[in-house]
Structure 1
Amino acid sequence: MIIGVLADLHIDMNDQATETSVIEALVTISKQKKLDALILAGDLANDYQVSLHALNQLKSSLNIPCLFVPGNHDLWNIHHPNMRTWDIYKCLESYSDNLTKSPFSLSDNWVVIGDIGWYDYKFADSSFSINQLEEMTLNERVWKDKHYTNWNMTYPELQTLFQQKLEKQIKLHESKNIILVTHVVPHSNFIVPTPDHTWSYFNAFLGSPKYGELIKKYSSSIKYAISGHVHFRKTFKIDKTTYINNSLGYRKQWIHSQHVKEEIQNALLTISL
């Protein structure tokens, strides 16, 4: 079984009228690679309606499981200012293969479990106080979740909520091989390297080491831990778990080519089960 892995498509920013769309290119490359399933670790677009349309287009074109967890951008209300974040989260669950609804069994032995996750500031440098981090602003630069999400919970509470939800599902499937998917990162190997004063602050909003602790606790079951959010393409292994962060990212960050098909050809990672 061949599984494709990609995150952070940002189609509303990357699509250009003069060439194939990101979704069309992903369909083409997925067929070339003969995928049996595709895992998308969030941030398709800045508008949940655009994300939903893209997901349904992928699903109907490929006719394979196209498993998805939302990213923070998918949940932004920039185009729907009267909507609360939980409402957008629920709207995204209208997509059939959204993992926030339930785990997905790939086979008798393999299951995919996932959700967005959230951050709890613990990847920030310890020199910053909680009050400073809660401002989500440094030198007039703002982490935009501050303006475009409204969870009605503190972020540490939200991080714990998603962790508990994931652990409950992991326990139910502990006898199987698990692929765990979050949008935010679970390990410090995926944060922006420091010393860098700006990112020593903004690393606060990239994820939580508590997800890494959860993965370690169930490492005999969790074979892969997939994330996005940081626009890296990086893989490493700890114990029995392979950690994957694999993003398309913004066009200006593309590594191999400014042509969408060529970049996705290189960016789309596959794992064989």
Structure 2
Amino acid sequence: MDIPQTNWRIIGNNGWYDYSFSTYESNVEEVAQWKQAYWVDRPIVQPMNDPERMTIVLHQVEEKLKQARNQQKQVIFMTHFAPIREALPHPIVESARRQRMWEMTTAMLGSRHLGALLAKFPEVKVVFYGHLHYAQPLITVGNIEYRNQAVGVRHKNSEDWKGKSLLDQWISHLYTKKI
């Protein structure tokens, strides 16, 4: 979608994950088995595995970015899943079992390949993503601003949630930038 009276284009793609943030990236069958036991996406029926699905996403995004380049548009990219490793939390993991659980979870958080693709296009200036459920500060990698627009999760004793209501919290996390 082009923003009227500007040279900005918003490109959106829900994205997916391909295990590339995990040390289990090459163990597709093992991650898929873990996913079927524990992950919220387990009931989704698809005719391919997750890395194959992400390959389709990458192709779709690349085509849209090439179109934007050819039409000399600057790009705001929006996706659900994390596109860069820098966005992921870095928990202290105390046991081999917990490390395995963390690596399996990390496998489903997004794709480093999406971040690498976005970095190939200097037209991409801002990326909005989610999926991680907690509010984060701005992350800049190269010339791209990465913004997780999550409003946070309301937990007792959480520093993440300061609003009295969801609306208050949402308003406090709005971001505007003159373009």
Q: Bin the TM-score by the shorter chain.
A: 0.7 to 0.9
Q: Relative to total residues, which structure has the larger strand share, 1 or 2?
A: 1
Question: What's the TM-score once normalised by structure 2's chain length?
Answer: 0.83
Q: Measure, in 2, the Cα distance between the counterparts of 1:240 and 1:152.
A: 37
TM alignment of 1:154-233, pairs within 5 A: 154-174=49-69, 175-196=72-93, 197=99, 198-218=101-121, 220-233=122-135
Q: What is the CA distance between 1:246 and its match in structure 2? A: 1.4
Structure 2 letter corresponding to 1:261: L
Aligned to 1:146: 42
Q: Measure, in 2, the Cα distance between the counterparts of 1:173 and 1:246.
A: 24
Question: What's the TM-score once normalised by structure 1's chain length?
Answer: 0.56
TM alignment of 1:1-40, pairs within 5 A: none
Aligned to 1:266: 172
In the alignment, structure 2 segments of 5+ residues that lack a partner are 94-98
Structure 2 letter corresponding to 1:155: D
In the alignment, structure 1 segments of 5+ residues that lack a partner are 1-103
Aligned to 1:38: none
Structure 1 residues 76-110: Cα deviation after superposition (integer angstroms, max 9, x where no partner): xxxxxxxxxxxxxxxxxxxxxxxxxxxx0013400
**Against the structure 1 CA distance between its residues 269 and 161, is the aligned structure 2 distance closer, same or farther, given a 3 Å change threshold?**
same
Q: For this pair of structures, how many residues does the alignment match?
A: 166
Q: What is the CA distance between 1:163 and its match in structure 2? A: 0.9
Is 2:153–2:161's contact at 8 Å kept on the other side of the alignment?
Answer: no
Structure 1 letter corresponding to 2:165: H
Q: What is the CA distance between 1:127 and its match in structure 2? A: 8.9
Structure 2 letter corresponding to 1:224: V
Q: What is the CA distance between 1:230 and its match in structure 2? A: 0.4
Structure 1 letter corresponding to 2:75: I
Q: What value does the CA root-mean-square deviation take over the aligned residues?
A: 2.1
Is 1:192–1:199's contact at 8 Å kept on the other side of the alignment?
Answer: no
Is 1:128–1:201's contact at 8 Å kept on the other side of the alignment?
Answer: no
